[in-house]
Structure 1
Amino acid sequence: MYLTEENRGKIWGDIPYAVEGLEGLDGDFLEKVYQRHVKEPWEILQTDRLIVREMTEEDLDALYRIYDQPGIEDVMDGLSEDREEERAYVRAYIERAYPFYGFGLWMLAERESGRCVGRAGFFMREGFDEPELGFIIAREAQRKGYCMEACGAILEYGFRELGFERVQALAAERNSASLAVCRKLGGQRSGSIVWEGRSYVRFVWSR
Structure 2
Amino acid sequence: MKVKLAPTLETHRLILRAPIADDFEAWAAFAADEETMRYLGGAQVRALAWRGMCTMAGAWTVRGFSMFSVIEKATGRWVGRLGPWQPEGWPGTEVGWGLIRDVWGKGYATEGATAAMDYAFDVLGWNEAVHTIVRENLASQAVARRLGSTVLRQAVMPPPFEDQTLDVWGQTREQWRARR
So what's the TM-score if we normalise by structure 2? 0.81
Using the TM superposition, give the Cα deviation of residue 184 of structure 1 relative to its aligned residue in structure 2, in angstroms.
Answer: 1.3
| Counterpart contact for 1:171–1:202, Cα < 8 Å | yes
> Does 2:79 match 1:120?
no
| Counterpart contact for 1:125–1:131, Cα < 8 Å | no
Deviation sequence 1:144-201 (CA, Å, 0-9, x none) = 1111100011101110111111111111101100111111111121122343223421
Structure 1 residues 143 and 68: alpha-carbon distance in aligned structure 2, compared to 1, 3 A threshold? farther
183-192 or 124-133: bigger deviation: 124-133
- Higher-Rg structure is 1
Q: Equivalences for 1:21-170 in 2 at 5 Å?
A: 32=5, 42-78=6-42, 80-81=44-45, 83-91=46-54, 93-94=56-57, 96-128=58-90, 130-170=92-132
Rounded to whole Å, the distance in 1 between the matches of 2:110 and 2:52 is 28
Letter in 2 for 1:206: T
Using the TM superposition, give the Cα deviation of residue 130 of structure 1 relative to its aligned residue in structure 2, in angstroms.
Answer: 3.0
Deviation sequence 1:79-132 (CA, Å, 0-9, x none) = 641x245435534543x3111212101111011221111110111143346311
> Does 2:163 match 1:200?
no
Rounded to whole Å, the distance in 1 between the matches of 2:148 and 2:102 is 26
Structure 1 gaps of 5+ residues are 1-15, 19-28, 33-41
- Which residue number corresponds to residue 6 of structure 1? none
So what's the TM-score if we normalise by structure 1? 0.72
Rounded to whole Å, the distance in 2 between the matches of 1:141 and 1:98 is 26
| Counterpart contact for 2:59–2:66, Cα < 8 Å | yes
Rounded to whole Å, the distance in 2 between the matches of 1:185 and 1:92 is 26
> Does 2:137 match 1:175?
yes
Q: Runs of 4 or more off by more than 6 Å in structure 1? A: none
Structure 2 gaps of 5+ residues are 174-180
* More contact order relative to length (CA 8 Å, sep ≥ 6): 2
Letter in 2 for 1:90: M
| Counterpart contact for 2:34–2:43, Cα < 8 Å | no
Letter in 1 for 2:148: G
145-154 or 185-194: bigger deviation: 185-194
Rounded to whole Å, the distance in 1 between the matches of 2:110 and 2:50 is 28
Secondary structure of the residue aligned to 1:113 is: coil
